[in-house]
């Protein structure tokens, strides 16, 4: 009887072997697909959350700006998302950008902003040797 119990026990343990091998192919596919998804969606995210009606334009530049200046329709100035006054704009740009040559700044100005306010920013950029890219919406 004791011999019979051992044979039954051995038969049970032999059938229930656990496979220790792990295949990471499926996990690699999932991670790769997530990587592609996030790379594609990150290029679609627009960096400015300010609601601006940009003027229409047909040309585009390949230069990458280091920062953005936005002028809203009620003449508020922003460096990226931070509100600034026109008097402090130059100091904040110097602090943020320093004296780097060939520094590009994107200017997002609402189409209802008077040209005089855009020229103030252009003058600050020229004085500090910054290159300005005026943002437009496609025609």
Residues of the domain holding 10: 2-44
Question: Is 28 domain-assigned?
Answer: yes
How many residues in the chain? 139
Question: Is 49 domain-assigned?
Answer: no
Q: If you ran DSSP here, which 8-state letter would residue 14 be given?
A: H
Q: pLDDT digits over 45-82, tens only?
A: 655 555 655 656 666 666 778 888 999 989 999 998 89
Distance CA 99, CA 58 (A): 31
Residue 127 and residue 64 in one domain:
yes
Question: Is 25 domain-assigned?
Answer: yes
pLDDT over 60 at 7, yes or no: no
């Amino acid at each position: 009887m004791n011999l019979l119990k051992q044979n039954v026990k051995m038969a049970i343990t032999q059938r229930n072997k656990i496979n220790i091998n792990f295949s990471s192919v499926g996990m690699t596919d999932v991670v790769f697909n997530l990587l592609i998804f996030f790379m594609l969606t990150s290029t679609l995210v627009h960096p400015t959350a300010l609601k601006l009606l940009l003027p229409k334009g047909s040309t585009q530049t390949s230069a990458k700006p280091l920062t953005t200046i936005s002028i809203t329709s009620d003449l508020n100035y922003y460096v990226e998302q931070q509100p600034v006054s026109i008097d402090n704009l130059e100091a904040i740009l110097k602090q943020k950008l320093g004296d780097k040559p060939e520094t590009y700044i994107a200017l997002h100005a609402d189409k209802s902003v008077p040209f005089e306010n855009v020229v103030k920013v252009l003058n600050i950029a020229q004085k500090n040797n910054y290159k300005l890219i005026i943002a437009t919406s496609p025609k």
